[in-house]
Every structure is written in C-alpha cells, then in structure tokens.
Amino acid sequence: MLGQMMDDALTITSIMKFAMKVFPDTEIVSVTGDNPRHRSTFGKAFTRVHQLANALSKLGCAPGDRIATLAWNDYRHFELYYGISCSGYVCHTINPRLFPEQVSYIVNHAEDQWIFVDPAFLPMLEQLQAELKTVRGFVVLTSKAAMPETSLNNVRCYEELIEAEADSFTWPELDENSASSLCYTSGTTGNPKGVLYSHRSTVLHCLGTNTKDTLALAPDETIMPVVPMFHVNAWGSVYGAAMAGTKLVFPGPKMGDGETLATLINEEGVTFALGVPTVWLALVNYLQESGSKVESLQRLVVGGAACPRSLMEAMDAYNVDMHVGWGMTEMSPLGTYNTLLPWMHDLPEDEKFAYRLKAGRLIYGVEMRIVDEEVNELAWDGKVSGRLQVRGPWICKSYYKLEDSDAHLPDGWFDTGDVATIDQYGFMQITDRTKDVIKSGGEWISSIDVENAAMGHEDVAEAAVIGVPHPKWTERPLLVVVKRPGSEPQKADLLGYLDGKIAKWWIPEDCVFVEEIPHTATGKVSKKDLRELFADYSY
C-alpha cells in the first residue's frame, strides 16, 4: 500500500522560492575584485537570478547543458548557482587552482557551453581558448566600467548581460532527480572525475546537515563560507543559508588572508565559518600577531583534512569552538560531524581532546561501514581499522560519463579511499588512505603525476612521492629518488626540472636519495612502507 502524501519535487528552485518569500531581507555581503564590500539581500539576489535566467535562455542554453563557473565566493557566484540549476541547466564549478591542462580536460569532458569567469582567471582561459572545443562564449563577472581587455572570443559582461532582462521568469517544473550541479574531483588517481549532483540530493543534504548537532544554521547566525564555492558547493552552505535565513558573508579572492577574514568577521558579526585547517591557521596567526580578537565568532567547522590539536587549542583561547567535519566531493560532502555527546564534556581534558579531534560522528542520512580486504565488516570498537565505505541518498552512484564503472561500489557501497576506525558511538577516525594522493592546503596533488614527471629526468632510475606533515599546508609532497647508476643528480636540478611540467604548487620542497624504494609482492611501489620509512620526516 502506498502512502497518500503529496510528492512535490525536492528542488533547489523550492529553496529559492522559500527564501524569497520568508527571508527577502537577509543579507549577502561580498568582497569582490571590483568592490571591497558589496551588500545585497536574498530578495535582491533572487530578483537578479530571475534576470539571469532570462539571459541564459537568450544565450541559447538548453535543458541539461553544462554551464561553467570559474570564480571566487561572492554574490554573483551565488546568483549563478541558483540561476543555472533552477533553469534546468547544470552548474559546473571549476577549480581555478588546477593545472591549466586539467581545466581544459574538465571543460571538454563536461562539454561546457558557456563559462562565467572572474576577471582574475581570464589569462588562464586566454591561454586555453583554442583547446576548449564546446565553449560557445564567456561571461566576465564584473560591471561594464570594470570590464577588462581580453583576447577571448564572444565575451559578454555579466552586469550588462542581466541588466536589460525582465525580473520575472517561469521556472521549469523539474524532476527532482535531474542534475543540478557538477564538480570534478582530483582526489582519485587518473583524470579528474565528475560528480553530478541532483536537485534531490542537494535538498536532502541540506536538510540532513542542518540539525542542531551539525551545521545548525538559523536566522540568528551569520556564516562565512571560506571553503571555495568550487569545492562541493561550498560544502552545501550556500543552499543551507537560503533555507535557514542565515546571513552570508563571502570573502571573495582574499580567502587565505587572516587579516581580511578577521575584519569581515568583526565588521559583519560572523558567528560561524567553514574552511580547511590552513585558513584557520592563517586566521590564528593573524590574531596572535596583531592582538586582534574575533568576539562574534562562536564556532568553526574544519574539514578537508585532519585538524591539529594546537590549532584547536589556539581557537579555544579565543572562545571559538572548532568542529571537525569529514566528507568528500562524492558525498555532497558531509558524512560525519564532530559534536560531543553530553557526557563527553565532563571527560578529562586529554580524553575530551581525543574525541574532539576525531573526524566526527556519523550523521543521519549516511550509512557507513569499515571492511577488511575481503570486504568483511569490521567492528565499531574504535580500535580495528578498515576501508571506509558509505552509502546514502547524497552519495555518488557513478561518476559522470563513467556510468559503467562501478569500481568504487562493491555491492552498492562507495569506497572512500580512506582507512578508519569507528567507535561504539559512531565517532570515526581516519588512520590512513588507500588512494595515492596528497592533500595540501585543502587541494589534491596527484603523487602519480609528480612521479611520472620526475621519472622523465635522465638521472632518475625510480621516483616515488609521498605526503609528509607540514605545519601550514597539513601535508606537502616529498620526492624520493633512486639515482641511475653512474649519475650524480643534484636536488635543485631535479626539483627545477619539474617546473613547467606540473602545477607550481605541486613541486615538492625536498627530494631525498635512497638506495632502493620498497615494493609490494606485485612489484608496485609500497607507499605504506615508504611512509613508514619517512615517518619521522616533516617539513
């Protein structure tokens, strides 16, 4: 027997319509390249979203088209999120920190039709233009007055594009399972892979991550997503804020700058902010050096990498509660969130820290398990570790255009590539990774690409790259090399050789020479053994 309730579609359009009615005056404050403090509201932004929808339709966009953004966090990017998805197109957020070749791969793979771009990223697109096969034109995210010179073909100015348009639009009735946005992850080996979110998964993730024990967004909060909008939809916060009537503060291009963050927090009354450890380190360093305070700030979510205890302690000294979150691009992203159970607050200091530093407690909506190599489920005893697998309505089923490859889905579970313990209360702790990548400042570095580049040097017999701890970037790559017999390569030559072959920030700071690199029985480099060999190495 079926239930007899209405089955209205769960769409991003419904979030927009709700916020327009209930929270039209809630503010959106942004730093942009052309304005140090732009002020808008949900009402104004969504009115412009209607104009944008008319403009997109005139640009010839068809249902399901991928429309790309290459932009920092600000109100125009916010408008694109809603304008593109609610019109029935797919908002493809591109990470501008990727190596240009990866950007052109992603644009071509997604078959993007238009790219909405911040002026700062024009040089990259100018360099790539000839390779971008499907792109019909570019829209620069700025005003007519600030429009820069560019050699790109078919270029429009965002403000000019939308200003002439009507502020009413008939939104299509979308199937809740239709695609809403697309984000490529390079956190796997091989080419970046596209994660295609749906309206339904986005709305469910918003609902599932806005309980009192998780993001707890509400009209009395002001949030600042320092996590980029090209990283899993700013961890969903941009939709959650509209659903909950929460004031949004966008830091624009200055998101790594402690002074800008502190100023925005103090002047806009930010209560809650989201970002990777590296940005909170920049904030703490600035506060300690300048003697400034951040009195409105009550809590932070730190994710994307493990949180060092020293950082959490430093934030405690400013009365800012740090909550660790864990997730992935493939998980929309949230899977666990760290809030202590009531009795844990009374634990001795060290035991309490041990809990607070874990990757967090499983949230409703995600199922999680740890398994051994034979996929036997392991106990939740907080001791035994295994491959971490997840499933649920906001977890990726297959990658975009790789629908047939279910390598990540043994019997319907998504293998995260993380290795973890889970305890009896559902607190998860990451202990290792099976994926051969390094995470530096919240961004992935492919060990394999760095190794292949290094192997091209004539004096290198074998090269391997591992991640080692770094105080600012959490992890940085270390190049381990076996010299070709009879040659005497120098560190500086080898590292200099990588320049131009991989992204600058992927180049390891150091290179060590060894007689032999450990291998597994099947002849592959044993990263596990190599990491153990260099367990005491740190930058």
Q: Which residues form the interface with ligand ADP (CB under 6 A)? A: 185, 187, 231-232, 303-306, 324, 326-329, 333, 359, 416-418, 430, 433, 439
Would you say 234 or 450 has its CB closer to ligand ADP? 234
Q: Which residue number, 180 or 329, has a Cβ lying nearer to ligand ADP?
A: 329
With CB atoms as reference, the residue minimizing the distance to ligand ADP is: 304
Q: Which residues are paired to 421 by β-bridges?
A: 429
Sorted by sequence, the CB contacts under 8 Å of residue 406 that are 6+ apart come out as 398
From the list 235, 444, 473, 506, the catalytic residue is 444
CB 336, CB 359: distance < 8 Å: yes
Please say if 330 is a catalytic residue: yes
**Cβ–Cβ under 8 Å, residues 320 and 297:** yes
CB of 338 vs ligand ADP, minimal distance in Å: 8
Residues composing the chain: 539
Residue with smaller CB distance to ligand ADP, 370 or 460: 370
When the beta carbons of 109 and 247 are compared against ligand ADP, the nearer one is: 109
Q: What whole-number distance in Å separates Cα of residue 30 and Cα of residue 254?
A: 11
Compute the distance between CA of residue 64 and CA of residue 112 in angstroms, rounded to an integer.
11
Output 185 or 389, the one with its CB closest to ligand ADP. Answer: 185
How far apart (Å, rounded) are the C-alpha atoms in residues 489 and 30? 49
Do 31 and 254 contact (CB within 8 A), yes or no? yes
Per DSSP, the chain holds a count of helices (H) and strands (E) of 16, 25
Residues 6+ apart with CB under 8 A from 414: 330, 331, 389, 390, 391, 395, 396, 408
Cβ 283 vs Cβ 262: under 8 Å: yes
| CA–CA distances in Å: residue 43 to residues 30, 280, 463 | 15, 31, 56
Classify the C-alpha dihedral 432-435-436-442 as positive or negative: negative
CB of 441 to ligand ADP, least distance (A): 11
Q: How far apart are CA 29 and CA 426, in angstroms?
A: 37
Closest distance of CB 474 from ligand ADP, Å: 9
**Residue with Cβ nearer ligand ADP (82 or 230):** 230
In angstroms, what is the minimal distance from the CB of 366 to ligand ADP? 13
In DSSP terms, 502 is beta-bridged to 499
* 185 flagged as catalytic: yes
Among 193, 247, 358, 439, which one carries the catalytic annotation?
439
Which H/E stretch holds residue 194? Answer: strand 193-198
What are the beta bridge partners of residue 327?
A: 334
Active site residue 505: no
* Residue 174 DSSP label: -
Closest approach of Cβ 439 to ligand ADP, in Å? 6
User: What's the min distance (Å) between Cβ of 442 and ligand ADP?
Assistant: 6
Nearest to ligand ADP of 50, 231 (CB atom): 231
Given the residues 26, 69, 142, 185, the one annotated as active site: 185
CB-based contact 68:89 (threshold 8 Å): no
CA dist., res. 201 & res. 207, Å (int):
10
DSSP for residue 502: B
The nearest distance, CB 16 to ligand ADP, in angstroms, is 24
CA dist 69 and 65 (Å) reads 13
Q: With helix as H, strand as E and coil as C, how does 24-67 read?
A: CCCEEEEEECCEEEEEEEHHHHHHHHHHHHHHHHHCCCCCCCEE
- Is 361:339 a contact under the CB 8 Å cutoff? yes
The residues that bridge with 274 in the sheet, in sequence order, are 225, 301
* Closer by beta carbon to ligand ADP, 189 or else 296: 189
Q: In one letter, which amino acid is 224?
A: M
Q: How far is the CB of 24 from ligand ADP (least distance, A)?
A: 31
Nearest residue (CB) to ligand ADP, 53 versus 306: 306
Strand partners of residue 338: none
Q: Has 444 been annotated as catalytic?
A: yes
Q: How far apart are CA 273 and CA 261, in angstroms?
A: 10
State the nearest-atom distance from the C-beta of 145 to ligand ADP, in Å.
35
| Residue 469, helix vs strand vs coil | strand
Of 303 and 477, the one with the shorter C-beta distance to ligand ADP is 303
Instruction: From the candidates 79, 221, 330, 475, give the one annotated as an active-site residue.
Output: 330
Q: How far is the CB of 317 from ligand ADP (least distance, A)?
A: 22
User: How far is 132 from 105, CA to CA, in rounded Å?
Assistant: 9
| Catalytic sites, residue numbers | 185, 330, 439, 444
